[in-house]
Amino acid sequence: MMEFNNRNKMIEYVYILSDYFIKLLLTNLLFCLFSIFIITIPSAISGLYSNCNKIYKKEDFSVISNFSSESFSNFKMKIKVSCIAFIATIIFIYDLTYLALIDEVLSVLGLTILLSILIFKNYFELTLFFQINKKYHSIKDLLRNSFKLITWNVKLFSFTILIDLLIIFISLLSSNIRYLILFLSVFVLIAIYGVVKTMLFNKIIFKGD
């Protein structure tokens, strides 16, 4: 009887894991599709973090419905925050590429530039995530309160930056690793990255409250 119960529990765990894995795959696919046109990338970021938040909290939800509704709700507010975060990401990629070409990524200047951009990038990602959860209507209040959360949770916020740095330095190890990361990003890696960031953002917001 006990063996039968253990087998049922194992089947249940496999079902739960497979269900969440499918949701990760779909979320990743939606993010990639929404990002085809550059103007829709801010919406894609909102949908990504909203879905990842629900996956992290183990909520039952429709991947496509939640992604699309969250992407376009309070669009004006999100577009401002997301655009700044997106611009910071583009600058970050450009600077990283330039520093890699001149072999200065690991120099004091290179690390200072990378850290500055990553702080800026993660601040606006947290701000966007904060908006998804708290539904602010004033961008000034949103930015100010997000900054307060960071000052109250410097240690947790630093972990969000370390995740980005870890990905960067792993990708710098060889071109094959970079291609592998790029390949996996098309299928599921972006969503997994989103869930990890969501976990940290939830802790920052929760402790900040």
Query: What single string gives the DSSP state of each residue in 124-181?
Result: HHHHHHHHHHH--S-HHHHHHHHHHHHHH-HHHHHHHHHHHHHHHHHHTS-HHHHHHH
Q: What is the mean pLDDT of residues 191-201?
A: 88
pLDDT tens column, 37-69: 766 777 788 888 889 888 888 888 899 999 988
What pLDDT score does 28 carry? 93
Asked if residue 30 lies in contact with residue 64, where contact means CB atoms within 8 angstroms, the answer is yes
User: What is the rounded distance in angstroms from the CA atom of residue 115 to the CA atom of residue 168?
Assistant: 12
Report yes or no: 27 and 52 within 8 Å, Cβ to Cβ.
Answer: yes
Q: What is the extent of the structural domain holding 195? A: 2-208
* H or E stretch at 113: helix 108-134
Q: How far apart are CA 15 and CA 140, in angstroms?
A: 44
Give me the number of domains the chain comprises: 1
Residue 57 or residue 128, greater confidence: 57
Region 10-18: what's the mean pLDDT?
61
| pLDDT at position 4 | 45
145-155: per-residue pLDDT in tens?
Answer: 778 888 888 88
pLDDT tens, residue by residue, 134-143: 666 666 777 7
Helix (H) or strand (E) holding 108: helix 108-134
* SS3 (DSSP) at 52: helix
Residues 129 and 53 sit within 8 Å (Cβ to Cβ):
yes
What percent of the chain is modeled with pLDDT above 70? 67
How does pLDDT run across 65-118, given as a tens digit for each residue? 999 888 777 666 666 666 666 676 677 666 666 666 665 555 666 667 777 777
- Residue 29's pLDDT is what? 93
Query: Tell me, what's the pLDDT at 71?
Result: 78
pLDDT score of 2: 45
Say if residue 203's pLDDT is above 70: yes
